Structure 1
Amino acid sequence: MLLSELVTATEAVAATSSRLQKVAALAGVLRELDAEEIAPAIGFLTASPRQGRLGVGWRGLSNLAVEHADAPTLSVLDVDAALDRLAATAGAGSTDARRRALETLARRATGPEWDFVVRVILGELRTGALEGVLLDAIARAAERDGATVRRAAMLSGDLGETAGIALTGSADDLADVGLRVGRPVQPMLASTASSVAAAMTAVGTDVSVEYKLDGARIQVHLDRTRPDGEDVGVYTRSLADVTHRVPELVDAVRALPAERLILDGETLSLDDDGSPRPFQDTMARFGSETAAAIALRPWFFDILHVDGRDLIDEPLRARLETLERVVGDLRMPGIVTADPEAAEEFARGALAAGHEGVMVKAIDSPYTAGRRGKGWLKVKPVLTFDLVVLAVEWGSGRRSGMLSNLHLGARDPDGAFGEPGGFVMVGKTFKGMTDATLRWQTEHFPTIETHRTASAVHVRPETVVEIAIDGVQRSSRYPGGVALRFARVKSYRCDKRAVEADTIDALRALLRG
């Protein structure tokens, strides 16, 4: 398939606000893909090339000055091969080698094709074709059941692989996609409640109440049957493999009494007295390629598989009973109760122990991989939201020469207040930043810069920051009609993707609360 056919399809998607028309446009182009083109094309359509990071930023792309082709000749596989070469370029002279490779690709592309490629590389394809729309398009193109396609994508953790099975395999092949020990699955996500009582009202009176740690989400796989001895895998919430960075977690899992496991949990570093260290310490440990003095300790709150038995469709009550048997004292502290007073007392104990709050979960809920359902609700005494940095202003006074004031955006999945799949600004903050945070911001944000104004560096909307607020207020200043009150930085969430940020609807709901 020519790349121009994908470009035309994405232009049609961007030109309509109708979900049905978006699905139809994408389904039409998906039907025409050859088998080997499916995974690369899905990567292009989601602005997530299958090669991952390419070592190319906005500055390197904007400095190219070449004449583009007059007519389309590039195929999907041509571009995929070019991205392979870019991803493989490293070492001395790699900057010049990448520039030459980009110039070659840019000359072969027409103007619209090059604009498309640049936006794919930068992760800024903003067509409103979010993953849910694309899943519906895959189902239509393949003439498969939509629920089966969505479940396969969640359990495989790979949209390209799911599309390949749906478009080239049988209905049975698609239905057979399930949990596979060693292949990470998209994690179940939680919504927010203002109090334990509100959470119990929302999910049901019989609930599991568990500690909510200020740690890093982990998914752990154990398979003692592997012949290569690589029996443990540890993955982040974004499904990145960090096994080699966390030997203490590997050792803890190897000690568990099972042959094959998939566990969901959190990890946290502790002080000598057992109190939790700041989230930044945990993430710094995650980012280290070598063992550090700061050790991590795992807590597991769910079990998805044990010794040939998948558990995701079983109620939480049954999963917790199995979890208790398998992980013992590595289980996240929690209680099962229908008593609001007992739940509140447990939440107070979690706060007294130095943790963020509690999770309140419907005791009969299944594990809905990849979805932010209403079966899990997090309750914190301070309202916090995961927002995305849109721009950063230069500081003044003591902060002169440093990037300081953040422009914060909430996710706008339906384009109700702007571009579909984009972000709508909800406020600014320069509060809660340490000197180390300011130095990091000043080094980091120019690497994802899109353009500058006199006062600010505008950046690709990909950096997630957890913001504590006292509430929100109505505002005519911002398109979403809502502004943050007393916003301050709690921590940067390098473990989260922009598509996991909180939505503008979640903030607007506080106006009604």
Structure 2
Amino acid sequence: MRFLDLAATSAAVGATSGRRAKVELLAAALRSLDPAEVPAGAGYLAGELRQRQTGVGWAGLRDLPPPAAEPTLTVAGVDAAVDEIAAVHGPGSQARRRELLHRLFAAATADEQRLLVGLFRGELRQGAQAGLLADAVARAAEVPVTAVRRALLLAGDLRTVAVAALSGGAAALAGFGLQVGRPLAPMLAQSAPTVDEALTATGVPAVVDVKLDGIRIQVHRSGPDIAVFSRSLDDITARMPEVVAAVRALPARELVLDGEAIGLDATGRPLPFQQTSSRAARRTTPSTTGGTAVAPAVLAAAERTGETVLTPYFFDLLHLDGTDLIDRPGRERWAALAAAVDPTLLVGRIEVDGPAQAGAAFAAAIDAGQEGVVVKDPAAPYDAGRRGSAWVKVKPRHTLDLVVLAVEWGSGRRQGWLSNLHLGARDPRTGEFVMLGKTFKGLSDELLRWQTARFLDLAVERGDWVVRVRPEQVVEIAFDGVQTSSRYPGGMALRFARVVRYRDDKTAAEADTIDDVRAIHSGRVTG
């Protein structure tokens, strides 16, 4: 397929507002790809390069050669060229990478160059999100969209699913199952301001889990092989020897566990998230959190490494010794979890039949220094990759994961540092971001130094007062409420916003939406 035709499809999708029309355009392009081009072509339509790391940064895309007059590139040719660029390493790599990049761009027409720039920068905004691509794959392959979506959840890769659907149809999609060693998108929780409202969403009886402010982990074990994956499905096994040791001590041969890893102080209270995430140089002694002791295997691993203890606490079991459990009710999964995992590795959990018990569990979690609770429907399956009403988190404050749109230079003590953040929520209809206000609260000197370097690297426009940045960095913001405001385009502003932490485990596409903000503004459950 000519790369120009794919670029034309991308431009047409971006100029089209209707979902059905977008799906038809994308499906037509998918049908036109040669089978060998589907992995790269499907990724291009989703705004992604097949190669996750190319070594090409923002600066490398300046001073590009003029566009070609005639199109000669194919989808396969572009993929091969990017492969060659991504493979460059060692002495002289910067010059060689620039040479290859310029060769590719010199062969591209103006329309093709626009698409390439968007792909390399990772900011191709054409309204073709993963949900639309799933619908388009289903249309192109003439298979049920539900089959595509389930395969996508289990495979975790749109390109793999597109290849299967277009080459093997529904039968190939049915072959996707939970594969031990291959991470799947985790089940997510809605938010509610109170446990009463959470119970309204889940119904009763319900289960209330302690919500730990740690690192979401998914642990896969197959015999002696153990892998730990982050919320964003990155392999972080090498960074978590305590987790590996704890799971290796369990009797089961095959497991897929969902949980959190968290650092504890000497009294058993959670360390600040920044210390957990950076594995600060503090050790803990056997202690308790949520009524459970730190597992001996965890402490033994920490003694060997000399690093901060990161204790895993598990709250779900997705696979056990050859049997997938994701479609089983929570009550069955959790019973299997309790039988397979040492009690010292389980998240604190209680079953409740009303607001009084749930409220007491919430208060106990907060008193223990935890982040809050997650109220769960025990009859619900594990809905991988979804944020439904079966799990509802409750924190003692409003928080949203927003995207930084610009940053202002500080003054006084903060002179020379980028300080005041411009915050935006994602508009799911347009893919753009709606500004909700600014904040410089909650920033330590360490964070100020870090964010100054980070946002200068993301800068697209540097002014004397404001630095505008690519909308990529997600930050968790706590606030006291949402008020009506004519100052910002969304008609709302956050009250007393302050930074909790930066979320490097989330992409901008996973940030909270303007609809979530409107729900808080109107007093409804969010998610």
Alignment TM-score > 0.5, same fold: yes
2: CA distance, partners of 1:170 / 1:120? 28
Question: Which residue number corresponds to residue 448 of structure 1?
Answer: 458
2:500 is the counterpart of 1:490: yes
2:329 is the counterpart of 1:315: yes
Q: 1:468 aligns with which of 478, 495, 505?
A: 478
Identity over aligned pairs, percent: 54
Q: Per-residue displacement from partner, 1:12-59 (whole Å, max 9, x unpaired)?
A: 111111000000000000011112211111222222222112222222
Question: Which residue number corresponds to residue 289 of structure 2?
Answer: none
Q: Verify the 8 A CA contact 2:142 2:169 in the aligned structure 1.
A: no
Question: Which residue number corresponds to residue 68 of structure 2?
Answer: 69
2:495 is the counterpart of 1:480: no
Q: CA deviation at 1:94?
A: 2.2
Q: Per-residue displacement from partner, 1:450-491 (whole Å, max 9, x unpaired)?
A: 222332222221111100000111122222211111100000
2:340 is the counterpart of 1:340: no
How many residues matched?
499
Partner of 1:169, secondary structure, is: helix
Question: Which residue number corresponds to residue 284 of structure 2?
Answer: none
Q: CA deviation at 1:395?
A: 0.9
Q: 1:301 aligns with which of 315, 335, 354?
A: 315
Question: Which residue number corresponds to residue 243 of structure 2?
Answer: 249
- After TM superposition, the structure 1 = structure 2 runs for residues 233-382 of structure 1, keeping only pairs within 5 Å, are 233-285=227-279, 293-329=307-343, 330-382=345-397
Q: Per-residue displacement from partner, 1:124-177 (whole Å, max 9, x unpaired)?
A: 111111110110000000000000100000001111000000000132121121
1:275 counterpart letter in structure 2: R
Q: CA deviation at 1:292?
A: 5.6
Q: Verify the 8 A CA contact 1:57 1:447 in the aligned structure 2.
A: no
2:239 counterpart letter in structure 1: R
Moved more, 93-102 or 304-313: 93-102
Moved more, 473-482 or 184-193: 473-482
Q: Verify the 8 A CA contact 1:57 1:448 in the aligned structure 2.
A: no
Q: Per-residue displacement from partner, 1:436-457 (whole Å, max 9, x unpaired)?
A: 0000001111222222233222
Q: CA deviation at 1:361?
A: 0.9
Partner of 1:476, secondary structure, is: coil
2:519 is the counterpart of 1:509: yes
Runs of 4+ in 1 over 6 A off after TM superposition: none
Partner of 2:32, secondary structure, is: coil
1: CA distance, partners of 2:260 / 2:107? 47
2: CA distance, partners of 1:371 / 1:461? 24
Q: Per-residue displacement from partner, 1:252-279 (whole Å, max 9, x unpaired)?
A: 1111121111111111111122111111
Q: Verify the 8 A CA contact 2:427 2:434 in the aligned structure 1.
A: yes
1: CA distance, partners of 2:59 / 2:247? 43
Q: CA deviation at 1:410?
A: 0.6
1: CA distance, partners of 2:484 / 2:42? 39
Partner of 2:227, secondary structure, is: strand
1: CA distance, partners of 2:36 / 2:137? 16
2: CA distance, partners of 1:378 / 1:172? 37
TM-score, normalization by structure 2: 0.93
Partner of 2:105, secondary structure, is: helix
2: CA distance, partners of 1:187 / 1:61? 35
Question: Which residue number corresponds to residue 413 of structure 1?
Answer: 428
Q: CA deviation at 1:509?
A: 1.1
Q: CA deviation at 1:390?
A: 1.1
2:79 is the counterpart of 1:83: no
Question: Which residue number corresponds to residue 44 of structure 2?
Answer: 44
1:312 counterpart letter in structure 2: I
2: CA distance, partners of 1:65 / 1:79? 16
2:143 is the counterpart of 1:144: yes
Q: Verify the 8 A CA contact 1:235 1:241 in the aligned structure 2.
A: yes
Q: CA deviation at 1:291?
A: 5.1
1: CA distance, partners of 2:236 / 2:60? 29
Q: CA deviation at 1:427?
A: 1.1
Question: Which residue number corresponds to residue 157 of structure 1?
Answer: 156
1: CA distance, partners of 2:432 / 2:154? 26
Q: Verify the 8 A CA contact 2:141 2:169 in the aligned structure 1.
A: no
Question: Which residue number corresponds to residue 423 of structure 1?
Answer: 433
Q: Per-residue displacement from partner, 1:298-336 (whole Å, max 9, x unpaired)?
A: 011111111111111111111111111111321111111
Q: Per-residue displacement from partner, 1:47-105 (whole Å, max 9, x unpaired)?
A: 2222112222222212x241211111111122212221222223332222222121111
Q: 1:398 aligns with which of 413, 417, 431?
A: 413
2: CA distance, partners of 1:344 / 1:207? 12
- After TM superposition, the structure 1 = structure 2 runs for residues 189-268 of structure 1, keeping only pairs within 5 Å, are 189-224=188-223, 231-268=225-262
2: CA distance, partners of 1:486 / 1:10? 40
Partner of 1:205, secondary structure, is: coil
Q: Which runs of 5+ in 2 are unaligned?
A: 281-303
Moved more, 458-467 or 190-199: 458-467
Question: Which residue number corresponds to residue 185 of structure 1?
Answer: 184
Identify if the C-alpha distance between structure 1 residues 282 and 92 changes in structure 2 by more than 3 Å, giving closer, same or farther.
farther
2: CA distance, partners of 1:451 / 1:59? 13
2:52 is the counterpart of 1:58: no
Q: Verify the 8 A CA contact 2:26 2:45 in the aligned structure 1.
A: no
2: CA distance, partners of 1:393 / 1:89? 37
TM-score, normalization by structure 1: 0.95
Q: Verify the 8 A CA contact 2:64 2:105 in the aligned structure 1.
A: no
Question: Which residue number corresponds to residue 417 of structure 1?
Answer: none
Q: Verify the 8 A CA contact 1:59 1:449 in the aligned structure 2.
A: no
- After TM superposition, the structure 1 = structure 2 runs for residues 13-28 of structure 1, keeping only pairs within 5 Å, are 13-28=13-28
Identify if the C-alpha distance between structure 1 residues 48 and 295 changes in structure 2 by more than 3 Å, giving closer, same or farther.
farther
Moved more, 392-401 or 150-159: 392-401
Please, what is the CA RMSD of the aligned residues? 1.4
Partner of 2:424, secondary structure, is: strand
1:283 counterpart letter in structure 2: S
Moved more, 475-484 or 139-148: 475-484
2: CA distance, partners of 1:129 / 1:391? 25
